[in-house]
Amino acid sequence: MKIVVYGAPILRKVSEKVEKIDKELNKILDEMVDTMRDAKGIGLAANQVGIDKRFFVLEIEHNVKKIINPEILEFSEEVVEIEEGCLSLPGIYKKATRSETIKVKYLDENGKEKIEVLEGLWARAFQHELDHLDGILFIDRISLMNKRLILKKLEQLRKISSNS
Ligand code: ZN
């Protein structure tokens, strides 16, 4: 699978709900896990590989989660500001602000409903990937000053993206 880079219109689209969890979807999820590992990422959303549906994969400390139709039920008031990166924004790392803890609901790869409280890196990665499904990138959540600092890089990525 090919990871699409900043500038691709699909990264700014709101993805559609998954209606059916079948073998086909499980095959795609497995391929996404491989693609994420090859790229040394901890999360990958479907629209980053050109599929505008609401699912993503995460892998933190050798634990894989396959997340379908995710929702965040509760956000903690405590926020943390930590440096983030994105496989669709290669070479860009900036501090983004996010809730420290979240309560989430999603379907797993077997269609089973899960409700979990996530914290730390899991909470951060989940928020980052769910943003993707709503067409939001982490650079939308950084300071204006940092945004100014990466304008040139963004312009370069947009050129690469439109030539590929
Ligand atoms: Zn990302």
Ligand 1 centroid – CA 17 distance (Å): 19
Of the segments 130-134, 140-144, 157-161, which one has the largest average pLDDT value?
130-134
- pLDDT > 90? residue 162: no
Bridge-based pairing of strands 63-75 and 79-84 is unpaired
Bridge partners for 16 per DSSP = 53
The amino acid at residue 93 is: Y
Of 141 and 161, which is predicted with more confidence?
141
Sign of the CA dihedral with 57 first, then 133, 12, and 20 last: positive
Write the pLDDT tens digit of every residue in 106-117.
999 999 999 999
- Please tell me the distance from the alpha carbon of residue 152 to that of residue 123, in angstroms, as a whole number: 30
Asked if residue 2 lies in contact with residue 87, where contact means CB atoms within 8 angstroms, the answer is no
Q: Are 95 and 142 in contact (CB under 8 A)?
A: yes
Residue 160 confidence (pLDDT): 84
Provide the pLDDT for residue 81.
92
- Report pLDDT digits (tens) over 147-159: 999 999 999 999 9
Q: How many residues does the chain have?
A: 164
User: Ligand 1: distance of its center to the CA of 42 in Å?
Assistant: 9
- What confidence category does residue 35 fall into, taking pLDDT thresholds of 50, 70 and 90? very high
- Centre of ligand 1 from the C-alpha of residue 137, in Å: 7
| pLDDT score recorded for residue 58 | 98
Active site residues: 129
DSSP 3-state assignment of 130?
A: helix
H-helix or E-strand containing 36?
Answer: helix 23-38
Question: What's the pLDDT tens digit per position in 48-102?
Answer: 999 999 999 999 999 999 999 999 999 999 999 999 999 999 999 999 999 999 9
Per-residue confidence (pLDDT) for residue 161, from 0 to 100: 83
Residue 25's φ and ψ, nearest 5 degrees, are -65, -40
Retrieve residue 153's tokens.
Answer: 């890089």
**For residues 116-138, average pLDDT:** 97
CA of 164 to the centre of ligand 1 (A): 19
